[in-house]
Amino acid sequence: MSIAQNLHAIRASLPQEVSLVAVSKTKPIADLQEAYAAGQRLFGENKIQEMTEKWEHLPKDISWHMIGHVQSNKVKFMAPYVSLIHGVDRLSLLDEINKQAAKNNRIINCLLQVHIAQEETKFGFDEQELLAAFDANAFAPYSNINIAGLMGMASFTSDTTQIKTEFNQLKSHFDSLKNKPTAQVNLQILSMGMSGDYALAIACGSNMVRIGSSIFGNR
Ligand SMILES: *Cc1c(COP(=O)(O)O)cnc(C)c1O
């Protein structure tokens, strides 16, 4: 199947309230152009330099999502244009994002990445750090940042019960924090679900899925 066919099939299966981020990391610009021609406007990349090259070459009505681990010294390259940073996994990163956002006269939307997987290798806030940050009003100083939601990745396993438990955990944090008025926070987006588990993620309350290989083929 072509990229356009894959996109159409996936879109047809998504509930209306779920946004689709097409994860185009490692893929050539021609592939992104094909997805763009099929109407796709949200693209996800995990390397800032690669995303910036693609941004330079492609139409300016694309929303660029940084889904990977972010190194502070590279934030400046994406600050002029990035639409949503999914992978904010530490408070110190917000210092740099805020500084670069201010330089560009922008408010940058960020998601807090929460560590929900059993595996130790995944980045993200653990439950206690997350709740402590909200309790301490830790986002208040960042006037050029909007904390727009939470992001999580489930364990890489075929055990769907475990995946569901992990997604449900993130959804329950999302629900409880959503109603807590906090400066610079407006939780609307729950980003969870990839090619292998997005149906499960949506069943658990995700409203943004990040799908790569099911659209563009294996990397
Ligand atoms: C690569 C990646 C995806 C997409 O993975 P697929 O399995 O190809 O759909 C989603 N989220 C993150 C954070 C990724 O790094």
Tell whether ligand 1 has an atom less than 6 A from the beta carbon of residue 46: yes
**Atom 13 of ligand 1, nearest CA residue:** 67
> How far apart (Å, rounded) are the C-alpha atoms in residues 165 and 162?
5
* Cβ partners under 8 Å of residue 125, min gap 6: 89, 90, 112, 113, 114, 115, 133
Q: How far is the CA of 103 from the centre of ligand 1 (A)?
A: 30
Tell whether ligand 1 has an atom less than 6 A from the beta carbon of residue 177: no
Give per-residue pLDDT as tens, 141-186. 999 999 999 999 999 999 999 999 999 999 999 999 999 889 999 9
Closest by CA to 178, choosing from 200, 150, 218, 212, is 150
Q: According to the model, what pLDDT value does residue 180 have?
A: 87
Q: Average pLDDT of the chain?
A: 96
Sequence-distant contacts of 132-141: CB under 8 A, at least 24 apart: 133/91, 134/177, 134/180, 134/182, 134/185, 137/182, 137/183, 138/91, 139/94, 139/182, 139/183, 139/184, 139/185, 140/182, 140/183, 140/184, 141/98
Q: How far is the CA of 211 from the centre of ligand 1 (A)?
A: 6
Q: How far is the CA of 118 from the centre of ligand 1 (A)?
A: 18
Write the burial class of residue 14 (CB in 10 Å: 0-12 exposed, 13-18 middle, 19+ buried). middle
Give per-residue pLDDT as tens, 188-210. 999 999 999 999 999 999 999 99
Q: How far is the CA of 53 from the centre of ligand 1 (A)?
A: 20
Tell whether ligand 1 has an atom less than 6 A from the beta carbon of residue 213: yes
Give per-residue pLDDT as tens, 11-57. 999 999 999 999 999 999 999 999 999 999 999 999 999 999 999 99
Whether this model's pTM surpasses 0.95: yes
